Amino acid sequence: MSPIDSSRIRKLLSQTVGPAPWYWEAFPVFSSLSGQRFIWTHHGTEGPIGHLVTLGLEQESDRARLALNTYCRPFLVLPHSLGIWCPEGRNVRVVCFDPDQLKAFDLAEVAGWFKQSSERIYSTTPPIADFEVPLALGPGTHKIEVPAALATVDELIVPTSYKAMTNDDPAFALFVIYLQAGLVDVLPQKWFTAAQYRVGQQWITRAARDPESHRIVGECFGMGTFVLEEDGCRLQHWIESNA
């Protein structure tokens, strides 16, 4: 295994997308097939659109074409599409949009109600692909049906809460979704239990695969950055710890 370089891991995680709105500055800026450049805007913490993150054209960023509520994470779908994943009840929802099809809307349409609602994504244009992965899946590898529009994406690493029956059971898991292969690998985090951590106050915010060591690395809010064992379920060591 290649040695784990802590500065490399810190840089990798700083560029890894985390949940809206807290990590919106890491969201991907991109150009559509027609050459239009899209950027993200965070609308502060106060008022009827506070905490929302919207997507718009660079030349008219005051007009939204997509609005994201808390816990949404965008990702690029080659060559020119935009994916988003988010929690949806007891599922992980994964959608794909063609940015050139997105229609502009007035922010008054989402003011007030949207950030208080259970809706995660608002657009006047439907996605070109939409599917869900149930969080009730047990540990191990499972086959899933992935829409063709998302099949160019190799891997999504999805941190999520996980149903624990006791304080010694994993309270968090990583769902590694292989969209090209139509598979999901469920990796309960055996080290993250209610007996060891303050579940809810401490949580895995984002995770990525180190391209050199191929280990999964991540951030745990309130604790620091970590490296997992080769099985992806056990903690190897902390790179930085706030404990």
181, 208 contact by CB (below 8 A): no
Q: What angle do CA 196, 86, 30 make, to 5 degrees?
A: 120
* 77-134 pLDDT per residue, tens: 999 999 999 999 999 999 999 999 999 999 999 988 898 899 999 999 999 999 999 9
How far apart, in whole angstroms, are the C-alpha atoms of residue 184 and residue 139?
Answer: 10
Q: What is the pLDDT of residue 198?
A: 84
* 16-39 pLDDT per residue, tens: 999 999 999 999 999 999 999 999
Residue 65 identity: R
**In this structure, what token pair is assigned to residue 110?**
């989402």
* 44-80 pLDDT per residue, tens: 999 899 999 999 999 887 789 999 999 999 999 999 9
Q: Map tokens 């940015």 to a residue.
A: 99
Residue 225 identity: T
How far apart, in whole angstroms, are the C-alpha atoms of residue 87 and residue 159?
Answer: 10
How far apart, in whole angstroms, are the C-alpha atoms of residue 178 and residue 175?
Answer: 9
Q: What is Dmax (Cα atoms) for the chain?
A: 53
**Domain boundaries defined on the chain:** 6-241
How far apart, in whole angstroms, are the C-alpha atoms of residue 196 and residue 198?
Answer: 7
Residue 236 identity: Q
* 144-191 pLDDT per residue, tens: 999 999 999 999 999 999 988 899 999 999 999 999 999 999 999 999
66, 123 contact by CB (below 8 A): yes
More confident residue, 41 or 202: 41
3 state DSSP class of 162: coil
Beta bridge pairs of residue 220: 204, 224
